Amino acid sequence: MEPIQITNCHVHTFTQAHVPRDFPYKWTRLFQRVPILIKGIAWVVRLLGQEDIAEKLDRLYRFQQEAQHDEQATVLNNVKKHYPSNTRYVVLPMDMTGIGYGPVEEDLRTQHDKLHEMAQAAEPKGSVIPFATVNPLSEGSAQEGLRAIKELQFQGLKIYPRMGFAPDHPVLMETVYPEINARKMPVMTHCSRGGVQGREVFDYTADRFTEPKAYRPVMRAFPDMRICLAHFGGQKDWHAYANGEAPRGDENWQVQIRDMIGSGDWPQLWTDISYTLFHFDDYIPFLRLFLLDETEAGDRLRSRVLFGSDFYMTRQEKLSEKAVCFRLRNALGEEVFRQIAQDNPEVWLRGTGNAGVNFATG
């Protein structure tokens, strides 16, 4: 077999300059200024025998260390250490203004411009694939996102409805999606009960904006637009599935995604395994069964799953990027790993081919 060219379809390089001043709580400002305090508290907690709490604090410290970097390129270089030199990275920015946690130091235009510079300087050429982001809650965000698409030649769109907007928000449906659809570009969207949530957004509302079936109106309006529901429903729903529990609202998003893709009714619906698979031992047996399923629904699912990690959010976890990647490759086998890490990303990014699977029309 030829060597695999991995495409990590879900990487973040934003820094503390792109995070609101008071996120997630006002008191965390102290940790942002003096992150070593987290290490000190962890040491004390460990002395008291609270190893679980100490471990969580250690993870928070690693996350804060990554966020403190001044440049996006520094963050990217840290993830590149875990992958072969020919790996490509889909880099997803965030617009966290307008979600109720105070001002953001660096505006979205500057974040996009610096991401563009990083992509232009990347070695090897083409290894950084920049996506634009749009937050309809933020004034001017849609126009800035379209500028990045049109002028900076960004190659896709990232949205994050959990911050407080529906995926069929009028700004997206009338202004943004038509341009993305006309350019045959992919969309990446957050699909997990965890993550960034608007300060005034209740869990119920955030879930309604984020759940897989919330994208049906979008897919009906733009049936050819390739939409990836990141995180395959998220850790909470994978945990509920693995333990025979009902998740919040009784509808398991992991199951919803598998059913929607497997049905063949939504041929341009995708998902990725970012962050969720960092709880590797708990969930890999299930993912392996799903992806090795030889039914027609299994074939469809296997052709629509993307490899992604969610760096640098994963800095909160024990396993490194390299460890997860090698374990995943070993568990799934070379053929299936090649499909989700090399072949499927190419189809999703470029819209070329259909990975050899016939979908029913929805």
Tokens 């520094």, residue located: 74
Q: What is the mean pLDDT of residues 235-248?
A: 90
Percentage with pLDDT > 70 across the chain: 78
pLDDT of residue 112: 97
Q: According to CATH, what is the number of the domain 7-24+71-350?
A: 3.20.20.140
The pTM of this model reads: 0.86
The yes-or-no verdict on residue 149 having pLDDT over 50 is yes
Task: Give me the amino acid identity at 198.
Answer: G
Longest dimension (CA), the chain: 60
pLDDT value of position 228: 98
Checking if the pLDDT of 62 tops 80, the result is no
Alpha helices in 192-234 (DSSP H): 203-210, 216-221
332-353 as b/e: b if 16+ CB within 10 A: beeebbbbbbbbbbebbbeeee
- Taking CA 126 as the corner, what is the angle to CA 120 and CA 129, rounded to the nearest 5 degrees? 85
pLDDT bucket at 315, cuts 50 / 70 / 90: very low
**Which two three-digit tokens encode residue 321?**
């990027």
Which pLDDT band, with edges at 50, 70 and 90, does 316 fall under? very low
Preceding omega of 124 cis (within 30 degrees of 0): yes
- pLDDT at residue 282 above 50? yes
Is the pLDDT reported for residue 313 higher than 70?
no
CB 300 within 8 A of CB 44: no
CA distance 328 to 82: 14
C-beta of residue 201 within 8 angstroms of C-beta of residue 163: yes
pLDDT, the chain, mean:
85
Residue 50 has what pLDDT? 66
Predicted confidence (pLDDT) at residue 32 exceeds the cutoff of 70: no
Domain boundaries of the chain, sorted by first residue: 7-24+71-350
65 within 8 A of 35, measured Cβ to Cβ: yes
Angle at 322 between CA 60 and CA 117, to 5 degrees: 75
Distance CA 299, CA 262 (A): 8
CA atoms within 13 Å, Cβ hemisphere of 160: 22
Q: What one-letter code names the amino acid at 227?
A: I
Identify residue 359 by its one-letter amino acid code.
Answer: F
Higher pLDDT, 279 or 165: 165
**pLDDT score at 52:** 59
Predicted confidence (pLDDT) per residue in 200-233, tens digit:
899 999 999 999 999 999 999 999 999 999 999 9
Model confidence at 150, pLDDT cuts 50, 70, 90, reads: very high
Quickly state the pLDDT bin for 281 (edges 50, 70, 90): confident
